[in-house]
Amino acid sequence: MYKQAAKVIKNAERVTAFTGAGISVESGIPSFRGKDGLWSKYNPEFLEIDYFYSNPKRSWELIREIFYDFFGESEPNAAHYALAEMEKNNLLKTVITQNIDNLHTIAGNTNVLEFHGSSRDLICIECSKKYPCIESRLYSLPPKCSCSGILKPDFIFFGEQIPEPAQSLSFAEAELVDVLILIGTTGEVMPAALIPYKAKENGAVIIEVNTRESNYTNDITDIFLIGKATDVMKELQKKLGIG
């Protein structure tokens, strides 16, 4: 399976990765759902946009604790670095990620489409001015813009639109790829979940990396590499001759 995956990647003109929460689990960031997921510990209402507008301080207290104090300590793992190495060796064009943790960029990928935005920046809900999220901005909550508007993390909350141009660029990329590598995604979050189907419709080979079967596995996946993202991607890197 690994040899076959490596061959398909080497022979392709355009290979892209589509990643979800599973790729960052080994960096210490839990996924949302499941037994150890964030929603087993927290009520997700603090990430609903209407709740944020009516309770910005309460919402921000949890956002700071989870997405900045806790996730902020995380570093890329071997799977993130494998994708960066593939890009350096012209074996990967783009990473489309549903994650908001910025770990692909930190690992060294330069062409990253952040479908749900990123925790890296804050955005004013009044004037849309953006600020890099440095620690001191979160000393007093909620953080404020120079126009006095409230700042929110520049990732989407439940009830918000997918940011542009990430959405259109991601779907356009799905139409261009010969190979799409899915890593650590269930395929349950819409509309991101449609990207692999769009790629398949356009003739792409789908390689999937996951610890267990997802919505895609028995439907559109051509090569299923079962296992933890770090183990699988290290092995794939070796087979590609770049490990």
* CB 233 to ligand NAD: min, Å: 9
Nearer to ligand NAD, 105 or 186 (CB): 186
Nearer to ligand NAD, 51 or 115 (CB): 115
Nearer to ligand NAD, 204 or 232 (CB): 232
At 112, the amino acid letter reads: V
Which among 96, 110, 84 has a CA at the least distance from the CA of 194?
96
* CB 142 to ligand NAD: min, Å: 21
Q: Which residues pair with 16 in a beta bridge?
A: 94, 180
* CB 98 to ligand NAD: min, Å: 3
Helical ranges in the chain per DSSP H = 2-11, 49-54, 56-63, 78-88, 103-107, 166-176, 194-201, 229-239
Query: Which of 64, 93, 116, 198 is labelled catalytic?
Result: 116
- Compute the distance between CA of residue 62 and CA of residue 44 in angstroms, rounded to an integer: 10
* CB 71 to ligand NAD: min, Å: 7
116 is catalytic: yes
Strand order in the sheet with 112-114: 112-114, 94-97, 15-19, 179-183, 205-210, 223-226
Residues that bind ligand NAD (CB under 6 A): 20-22, 24-26, 29, 31-33, 98-101, 116, 184-186, 188-189, 209-212, 214, 228-229
Rounded to 5°, angle at Cα 92 from 216 and 233? 60
Nearer to ligand NAD, 27 or 60 (CB): 27
206: left (phi over 0), alpha (psi -120 to 50) or beta: beta
Active-site annotation, residues: 116
